[in-house]
Structures are given as C-alpha cells and as structure tokens.
C-alpha cells in the first residue's frame, strides 16, 4: 500500500518527524484504521526516496508511542488508539497548520487584525459553498 | 557497527592514478551507493574487494575474513561487473546452468520471474543481444544467486525506464530481510533516490564523504541576500553566485547576517542532485 505522505526538503522539520506526524495524522483522521497493514521500512523508504535509517527512526518512535505495532514475520500494523487521543492529535495537526500559516503572514509583516480578516474572509467563502 | 566489508589503508597505485589509501567500512542491512566521476576509483575499489585487482598495499576483509587468506567468501558474494567478459558465446539457458551450479542458494524462481518481467530471450546467444538485454540477463544472473552480499557496478546502464523500475522493486525486495548488504556504483540520480541509504562520494581516488542520504542532502543551504553581497567571506561560505551565497554552516551564517543588519529574501537547501554535483566540483 502506498501512503499519501508528502515530504518537504525545505522544511525546518527533520524528515523522520515529517513522516511520523503525517502517519499520526492519517491514523487520527481515520484514513488508516486500526489493524491496517503498513508498508515495510524498505518499501516505504523506496516510495519516499529516503534512507531506511530515517524510516526506521519514524517507525520506532511511532511504535514507542503506541501508534503502530510490529509483529515478527507478519509486518507492521496500525494499533488501536483511544478516541480521546485521536481528538488530541487532530487538534494538534490543525493547530500546527494554522501556526505555519500565521508564520508566513508574519514574514510578510501582517498584523493580527489583518490575519483575522483573512481567516474570516476564507470562512465566509467556505460557508457559501 | 556490523561491517560486512572493511578496507584498511587500501592502496592501488598505477602510472597515472592512485586509489586510496582508503579505510572504508560497509554496513549490513543497508544499500551503499558509490558515486563519483569516471575514473574516480569506484570500479577499482569494487574490483579490489572482489579480488580481481591486486592492491599495492593494505588489506580487505569480507565477513571478518582477509580475502587473501581463503576463497570461501566468494560464495557469499554476487558481483556484476561493467564488462561481462566470457558470457559472449553462451545463451541464457547455458549461462543459468553454469552460474546456478556455483551458488548453493540459487533462487531459480526469482531468475525466471526476472526473465519473464524483462522479456529476456534465453535461447539467444549473449553476444547477439542488445546492450540493454545483455545488462538485464547479467542482472538476473547476479541477483538470483541468493548471496548475503551483492555488488552491482552500474546496474541501470543501458536499460530502459520500465525495466529500471522493475530493478528498483526487485532490489528493495532483495533487501527486505534486513541482513543483506548491497553496494552499487552509479551515475544515475534515480538509482540513488530510490535505492541508496548511504552515499559514498569518491573523488580522484579518495573517499570524500560517506553519509546517510538524508543527512547528506542537508549539507548546503543557498541564501539570496537583499542588498549588496559583503566583500568578506561569510561563515561556511563555499560559493557565490550572482545575488546568492551557498554555505555549509547555516546557523552561524544567519547569525552573522543578523549582526550585520543584512537580510535574505529566499533560502533553499540544495537538492540531493545539486549537492552531489557540487561536492564533486569544489
């Protein structure tokens, strides 16, 4: 299975972190359900064009935090995650996206009021759909 | 570290070229890609490891055995040279028989799968095949040996894009058990992107870098400055190009700019391809 992961070489966030966060987000949003089998470290490394050292690190962290489980000879699977935990991750993912957007706005010297205006405008447009 | 192959002060001196002295260690479970210009010493190094070139000095160990002390290690290695000497007069069936006999763990199923996927005509004599077909047959005859170590010198030479993707799939499958060691020498950036874990950069007979692919890709950052470029050399500066400076120490570089009231309007880390090209030219 190919995971919908997109890496950015230009991000400050290390590659192994990017992989970790995106898999967490896929699990939290329900796109990867508990029990789903994940690609092997080697296969994912080839798809994402990264070293197995990087992918192994991401999988190890995800396993330590209880998001995935590896069983000898069978492969790696999505673990059961509590609903409250999922909610927390969702919240983190969305917060992070806003933080990034706000960073960009600050780089362009926008004020808080102006940023709020932009967000309101976008929400209004979305509401019309 | 579990090194499967190690060289100690390995040196090969020829009239016009010296390789080394080199201390190289190759780890198992990983794909190491040797990159470098033609004549940088990649092939000479690989041939020395295969005992096909006699070193002037130094030693080589494969699986903890000095390669001059026994021949047993040869059964543990599959090697694809650039020139397939001796294959010419035989057809694919004959070559399969000759080679399968030498390797106790020969994987006949894998061989026939590759023959099928690559449409290799086994009844044709090797010397009457196209260069691409010769390469595919030689690859199939190498990958199927069932050895723990494999060395491929220019694996994707001559072969078309579709066949190359099959090659990437098969080689990553080959690495799946996590204990095997794959070494490739290549000029193709796609081989490196898809397969390599460690990149070993060779230049004029020396190893100038050996690093995890993703760390290597972080080596250089390019900054486009607003205003005039300062006259002095900036921290980590390795090159200037028009309005931009490339540095290998972005943190102290940024600190310097902040202290000198200079700013930048764009910054980018060099792509893997540019990083390698750059390392080989400076």
Residue B217 confidence (pLDDT): 92
* Among A residues 31-60, those touching chain B with beta carbons less than 8 Å apart: 40, 42-43, 45-46, 49-54
The verdict on residue A4 lying in a domain is: no
Structural domain range at position A93: 83-128
Residues A92, A107: Cα–Cα separation, whole Å: 22
Total structural domains within chain A: 2
Place of tokens 């066949």: B163
A36 with A71, same domain: the answer is yes
A69 with A88, same domain: the answer is no
Residue B235 confidence (pLDDT): 94
Interchain contact A7–B (C-beta under 8 A): no
A26 with A71, same domain: the answer is yes
Instruction: Return the structure tokens found at A83.
Output: 């609903």
Residue A108 confidence (pLDDT): 82
Q: Using omega within 30 degrees of 0 as the cis cutoff, is the peptide bond preceding B149 cis?
A: no
Q: Is B86 exposed, middle or buried (0-12, 13-18, 19+ CB in 10 A)?
A: exposed
More confident of the two residues B117 and A30: B117
The verdict on residue A6 lying in a domain is: no
Place of tokens 């929400």: A123
Tell me which residue in A10, A43, A51 faces B213 most closely, judged by beta carbons.
A51
Q: Which of A62, A78, A94 is the last residue of a domain?
A: A78
A42 with A57, same domain: the answer is yes
Q: Name the CATH superfamily housing domain B3-85+146-216.
A: P-loop containing nucleotide triphosphate hydrolases (3.40.50.300)
The verdict on residue A74 lying in a domain is: yes
Going by C-alpha positions, the residue among B234, B281, B276 that lies closest to residue B264 is B234
Asked if A45's CB is within 8 angstroms of B197's CB, the reply is yes
**Are residues A75 and A42 in contact, defined by beta-carbon separation less than 8 angstroms?**
no
Q: Tell me the nearest-neighbour CA distance from A51 into chain B, angstroms.
A: 4
Convert the pLDDT of each residue in B50-95 to its tens digit.
Answer: 999 999 999 999 998 899 998 888 899 999 999 988 899 999 999 9
The verdict on residue A10 lying in a domain is: no
Query: Where residue A51 sits, what CATH number does that domain have?
Result: 1.10.10.10
A89 with A42, same domain: the answer is no
A24 with A74, same domain: the answer is yes
Strands (E), A66-117: 68-71, 75-78
Q: Is B236 left (phi over 0), alpha (psi -120 to 50) or beta?
A: left
A57 with A72, same domain: the answer is yes
Going by C-alpha positions, the residue among B243, B80, B31, B236 that lies closest to residue A55 is B31
Residues in chain A: 129
Residues 6+ apart with CB under 8 A from B281: none
Residues in chain B: 282
Would you list the domain boundaries of chain B?
Answer: 3-85+146-216, 221-281
Residue A71 confidence (pLDDT): 86
Convert the pLDDT of each residue in A20-79 to its tens digit.
Answer: 999 998 998 889 999 999 999 999 999 999 999 999 999 999 999 889 999 887 899 999
Residue A71's beta-bridge partner residues? A75
Residues 6+ apart with CB under 8 A from A22: A3, A5, A6
Residue A129 confidence (pLDDT): 62
pLDDT band at B230 (very low <50, low <70, confident <90, very high): confident
């Amino acid at each position: 299975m190919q995971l919908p992961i997109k890496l950015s070489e230009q991000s400050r966030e290390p590659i192994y972190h990017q992989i970790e966060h995106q898999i967490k987000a896929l699990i939290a949003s329900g796109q990867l359900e508990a029990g789903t089998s994940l690609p092997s470290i080697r296969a994912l490394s080839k798809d994402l064009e990264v070293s197995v050292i990087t992918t192994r690190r991401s999988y190890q962290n995800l396993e330590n935090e209880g998001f995935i489980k590896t069983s000898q000879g069978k492969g790696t699977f999505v673990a059961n995650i509590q609903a409250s935990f999922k909610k927390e991750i969702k919240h983190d993912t969305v917060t992070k996206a806003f933080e990034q957007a706000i960073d960009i706005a600050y780089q362009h010297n926008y004020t808080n009021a102006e940023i709020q205006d932009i967000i309101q405008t976008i929400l209004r447009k979305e509401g019309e759909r | 570290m579990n090194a499967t192959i190690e060289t100690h002060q390995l040196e090969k001196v020829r009239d016009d070229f010296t390789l080394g002295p080199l201390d190289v260690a190759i780890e198992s479970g990983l794909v190491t890609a040797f990159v470098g210009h033609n004549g940088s010493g990649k092939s000479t190094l690989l041939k020395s490891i295969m005992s096909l070139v006699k070193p002037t000095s130094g030693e080589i160990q494969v699986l903890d055995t000095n390669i001059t002390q026994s021949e047993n290690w040869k059964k543990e290695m599959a090697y694809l040279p650039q020139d397939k000497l001796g294959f010419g007069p035989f057809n694919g069936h004959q070559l399969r028989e000759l080679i399968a006999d030498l390797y106790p763990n020969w994987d006949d199923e894998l061989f026939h799968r590759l023959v099928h996927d690559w449409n290799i005509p086994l009844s044709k004599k090797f010397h009457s095949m196209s260069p691409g077909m010769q390469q595919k047959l030689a690859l199939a005859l190498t990958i199927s040996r069932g050895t723990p170590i494999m060395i491929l010198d220019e694996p994707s030479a001559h072969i078309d894009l579709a066949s190359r993707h099959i090659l990437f799939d098969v080689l990553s499958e080959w690495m799946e058990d996590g204990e095997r060691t794959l070494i490739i020498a290549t000029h193709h950036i796609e081989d490196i992107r898809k397969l390599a874990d460690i990149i070993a950069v060779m230049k004029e007979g020396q190893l100038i870098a050996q690093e995890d692919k993703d760390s290597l890709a972080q080596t250089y950052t390019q900054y486009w400055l607003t205003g005039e470029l300062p006259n002095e050399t900036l921290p980590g500066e390795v090159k200037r190009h028009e309005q931009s400076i490339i540095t290998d120490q972005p943190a102290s570089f940024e600190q310097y700019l902040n202290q000198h009231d200079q700013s930048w309007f764009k910054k980018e880390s060099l792509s893997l391809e540019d990083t390698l090209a750059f390392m080989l030219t400076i």
